[in-house]
Chains A and B, each alone.
Chain A
Amino acid sequence: MYSKEQFAQLVMKHRESLFFTAKSILRNDTDAEDAVCSAVMKAFENFDQLRELNYFKTWITRIVMNEAYTICRKNKNVQSMDEMLTEPSYSDYHDEMWEIVNKLEEEFRTVIIMFYYNDIPVKEIAGLLGIAPGTVKSRLNRGRQKLKEMITL
């Protein structure tokens, strides 16, 4: 049986990864935080179903993705309006590369953020997204090419 302290330690350990995962889907810091918070609450409710703590990162990452997609579906029309009217919100730290990554399409953006910013291996990314590892690799390559094109521009 797990304890609340164990859960809190694991969440704080992977907080950055969870945020980037949510951010890769939602492209909004506030929505990403909301997705992570709701995912943490759901994870705590179902924490007893986790058989091994080694799979906590994968497990809670999957929950964060589901919550991000749920928020994305709810705010679909609003987001489209936001994309038309305003630029995606950025933190105070200004990173050109991060800005360019957030301009990528979702399929390439998710893979690049998980691989480079969350340090998730290709096989795990494939498992999380439900696609083949070869597909993950191809998306990484195509995402890099697009980033290169965007940087040259």
Chain B
Amino acid sequence: MKTDKLLKKSAENKKNLIPEGYESRLRSLLDSLPDEVPVSGDAQAEVVRKARRFDIRPLVSAAAAFAVVAAGVLAVRNGVQPALDGGHESGKTYVTTAVSETTALTTSVSVTETAVTSDTSESVTSETSAPVQEKPVSERVNEPAHPSAPVSVPAVHEEKPPVSPAAPDDVPSPPVPPEHEVPVPGNHPEDEHPHVPGGENEHPDVPPAVTHPDHPDAPVPPGLENRPEREEKDDRNDKDEKDEKDRIKDREKTEDDEVVLPFADGMAHMPHIHTPVQ
């Protein structure tokens, strides 16, 4: 506290601490100054600097920013364009709906075609498993039990072996229409699920339990054992009988001809015999 008071007292007399010539020196200096306040060179330089900054720096920064943005856009384009062009169908759907619809149609058709081919192949393979003479696929396709039923086996019974469409011993096969085409589910929306030949719901007269064994390794029901062989045998028997009949007829004809021919051929050699004219 004492030092503070001493300092304040000393400050009160500070005018006495200033040398005498200081005030006169300052006055003479101020009188020697020019009348007008000079414009400082720093201010002019400041203005010039500001102008230069305004001219050059924004242009440079804008150019740099534009270059960076352009490079980024090009890079993104180069990176994305191959992905868009490279079979990314979901990306095409955003471009035009027409293209997407056409692609959808084509894909659906192709899917159905593959389904049909797979079904036929399955049916053929299932039937070829039996030691029977193979028939062409077109014949098998045209042999379903029901005219409206397609050849394909429904997806519900995929684990089960497919039912052989021709079962003459057990199920009376309806007459096959002359123009029986393989239906395409994509063209007929109501036929999305292909009909089962001998299905449970639509054709109750066909016993499905007999035609669909639960396990492929399960023994075949006795009624179905060697059924194709029987058919083939019957056909063969019929054909053999017919062939035999034809042969017999041919033989008779040939015998008749042979009987006649010696006469005809031996007419020259044989002595002339007068045959009575009837």
Contacts and interface: CB of A to CB of B under 8 A. Distances in A.
Interface of A: 1-4, 7-8, 11-12, 15-16, 19-20, 29, 33, 36-37, 40-41, 44-49, 91-93, 95, 97-98, 101, 112, 116-117, 119, 144, 147-148, 151
B17 A98 contact: yes
A4 B7 contact: no
A116 B43 contact: no
21 contacts: A4-B34, A7-B37, A8-B30, A33-B21, A37-B25, A40-B26, A41-B29, A44-B37, A44-B38, A48-B38, A48-B40, A91-B16, A91-B18, A93-B13, A93-B16, A97-B10, A98-B17, A116-B10, A117-B10, A144-B3, A147-B7
Contacts of A45: 38, 40
A151 B17 contact: no
Contacts of A4: 30, 33-37
A95 B17 CA distance: 8
B57 interface: no
B3 A148 contact: yes
B16 A95 contact: yes
A16 B14 contact: yes
A49 B36 CA distance: 14
A47 B22 CA distance: 22
Contacts of A98: 10, 17
A11 B26 contact: yes
A16 B7 CA distance: 16
Contacts of A1: 37
A19 B11 CA distance: 13
B98 to A, nearest CB: 70
A108 B169 CA distance: 126
A41 B34 CA distance: 11
A46 B43 CA distance: 9
Nearest to B8: A116
Nearest to A95: B10
Given A144-B3, A144-B4, A151-B3, 5 more contacts: A15-B26, A46-B40, A48-B40, A91-B18, A117-B10
B16 A37 contact: no
A3 B37 contact: yes
Given A97-B10, A116-B10, A47 B25 contact: no
Contacts of A95: 10, 13, 16-17
B33 A44 contact: yes
A95 B18 CA distance: 12
B76 interface: no
A117 B17 CA distance: 10
A106 to B, nearest CB: 17
Contacts of A29: 19, 22
Contacts of B25: 33, 37
Interface in B36-72: 36-40, 42-43
A47 B29 contact: no
B277 interface: no
Contacts of B22: 15, 19, 29, 33, 36
B262 to A, nearest CB: 150
B265 interface: no
Contacts of A147: 3, 6-7
